[in-house]
Amino acid sequence: MVNTYIKGNKAELEFRKIFRTIGYRDWKPSRARYNNNDLFGLFDGVLVAKKGAPIENLVHWGNVIFFQMKSTPSHFYKARGEIRKWEGEVYSDHVTLMVVLREGKDAYRIWTLRGGIELDETHTFKSDKHVQQL
């Protein structure tokens, strides 16, 4: 049996590596044992597009992404509601808010919210070549 914390960290690391291959830099807050490590109490990390990143990726994902990684569907849906509420309280039109659920070895369900527009889609990332085509 795998600890859910370890399982989530592994899925998050693989997700961040995927976005590094398509032209993003990632940042995650340092882990503190007794504190909440999330940005604004919601997000696991930030992805920022590098100069020269493929334009199709920037159009689809945006320049700045705040993401939350989830490993169970019920937590995935709960996080979506919390982020919708947070988005209503701040000005976030130019930032993509994202909740990611790992659905299998290579599949991720990705829900995004940008400028009040929601998008829920499933992506399968099997190789760097496939990622570049998104």
Q: Is pLDDT above 70 for 128? A: no
Q: What is the 3-state secondary structure (H, E, C) of 30-71?
A: CCCCCCCCCECCCECEEEEECCCCCHHHHHHHCCEEEEEEEC
Strand order through the sheet with 45-49? 24-27, 45-49, 64-70, 96-102, 107-114, 117-124
| Per-residue model confidence (pLDDT) at position 42 | 86
pLDDT bin (cut points 50, 70, 90) of residue 19 is: confident
Joined together, the tokens standing for residue 128 give 């760097």
Joined together, the tokens standing for residue 125 give 């990332």
**Per-residue DSSP letter, 22:** T
pLDDT in tens, 81-102: 999 888 888 877 788 899 998 8
DSSP codes, 69-92: EESSHHHHHHHHHHHHHHHHHS--
Distance CA 111, CA 129 (A): 22
Residues 30/37, Cβ–Cβ less than 8 Å: yes
Task: Tell me the pTM.
Answer: 0.80
Burial 13-46 (b: 16+ CB within 10 A, else e): eebbebbeebbbebebeeeeeeeeeebeebbbbb
Lowest mean pLDDT among 46-50, 58-62, 107-111: 58-62
